[in-house]
Amino acid sequence: MEKDEAVSRVEARLQDYDALAILGLTRREAELYLSLLQLGEASAHTLMRILNIQQPHLYSLLTNLKKKGLIGWKHGRPKLYFVKNPAHVMEEKIESIMTSLDSLKNTLKEIYASSQRCCEHPVVEVIREPRNIFKLIKNVISKTSHELCILMSSNYMARLVDEVVEKASSGVRVYALTFPDLRQGIINALMEGGVRELRSTALGRFMLVSSDCSQTIYIPRSTLSGGERQSYAYFFTGIEMPAFFTHCFYSEWCKSSQVFSQPISLENKLFSHRMFIYELTSLKSRSSQEIVVRVTGVDTRTGRGLTVRGRVEDVFTDDANTVYFTIRTSEGKRYSVGGYDAITEDIEAENIVIESITPSRQSSKLLDIA
């Protein structure tokens, strides 16, 4: 009688099947799961009778539910099957689903951003007068979401410190290069504000703001001494010119002197090709790390878009004009990864994300590099 009532309750609640489908259950798996949930525990014989199915089919369903982490069993005579605590199971499933959704969201955002940039028509504008130049610089900085590269005279940098610090404190990775030296108070403000690294050079050849490798402001050095009438800047959007000027920034960056560098987490961050090369070089110069990255870009042989995940093997920076790195996938394939307009490399990278960094066995420290 008790078993018949259990069957009735199961049949009455089969509308819960739609809710269980989110866990990937078929209708028969849902029926079995709900039966066990109602009964508390049951033998295979009892379940076959209640669900009116043959033993091979039942064992197949039980195996599937076990793999999905929903049930367990107690050894004995007979073996008894039971449902694991649904609250704990749901928490684990929700956490797993949220992690998968976050990963999917980031991947789709990268693909969408790449497609949007490909559809954009390159634009160049000439901006005149210091007040308009500063207004544009502040606007570009405010719209940065991942990576900001800024090369400024000390006077210009002092006037932009609030905007730069606001972006750095919001999680944007900021690389700041100034000439000549900054006042200590400005240096402290940039450091406390979370700027990734500050460098200086004796004599800057130009000024530059590069935002997410998609918008760039180039300011000739003559603007510093030319007065109102000779103050102008070039504003580039699109792919080609921002990528070119990011490379110019990288070249100046590598020749400059470090003022400070701060430990930050580099995992799950979006990088331009050149600044990833810089961070990669820093990592490899300190100790042996296994770095797993996801590269979104274009196959240079076929012209087709692709996303590749793999472990970084080598980085090549000997020739300033040919800078690339290599990765090896879990399937054993090796790819060379260049930046925009790559020709000799296998992949022209548009976005690079560090998925994980595993410390060497000799060091148990978290990877946060300084």
- Residue 98 counted as domain residue: yes
CATH of the domain at 63: 1.10.10.10
Quick one: pLDDT at residue 358? 83
User: Looking at residue 286, what is its pLDDT?
Assistant: 67
Give the number of domains in the chain.
4
Report the alpha-carbon distance of residue 271 to residue 65 in Å, rounded. 41
pLDDT, block means (10 residues), the chain with 370 residues:
52 59 79 85 88 88 86 85 83 79 72 58 83 93 94 93 95 93 92 95 90 91 65 88 89 93 80 88 76 90 90 83 88 92 88 83 40
The reply to whether 156 and 228 lie within a common domain is yes
106, 73: one domain = no
Domain region containing 110: 94-119
From the list 366, 360, 365, 342, the residue with the least C-alpha distance to 352 is 342
Kindly report the CATH number assigned to the domain that includes residue 138. Answer: 3.30.870.10
Residue where one domain finishes, among candidates 197, 229, 261: 261
Task: Please report whether residue 368 resides in a domain.
Answer: no
Residue 22 domain flag: yes
Domain presence at residue 193: yes
Can you read off the two tokens belonging to residue 231? 């103050």
Instruction: Indicate if 127 and 256 belong to the same structural domain.
Output: yes
129 and 234 assigned to the same domain: yes
Q: Is residue 369 part of a domain?
A: no
E strands, the chain, are: 41-43, 71-74, 80-83, 123-128, 147-153, 173-179, 197-200, 206-211, 215-220, 232-237, 257-261, 270-271, 290-299, 305-319, 322-328, 334-338, 347-358
- Give me 101's structure tokens: 């959704």
Give phi and psi for 32, each to the nearest 5.
Answer: -65, -45
User: Is residue 283, in this structure, part of any structural domain at all?
Assistant: yes
Give domain status of residue 89, yes or no: no
DSSP 244-287: HHHHHHHHHHHHSEEEEE--B--TT-EE-HHHHHHHHHHHHHHS
**SS3 category, 361:** coil
148 and 255, same domain (yes or no): yes
Rounded distance, CA 316 to CA 322, Å?
8
181 and 248 belong to one structural domain: yes
Residue 148 · residue 214 · CB < 8 Å: no
- Domain check: are 209 and 314 in the same one? no
**Same domain, residue pair 108 and 143:** no
Q: Are residues 113 and 128 in the same domain?
A: no
**pLDDT confidence of residue 147:** 93
- Whether residue 250 is found in the same domain as residue 325: no
Is residue 367 situated within a structural domain? no
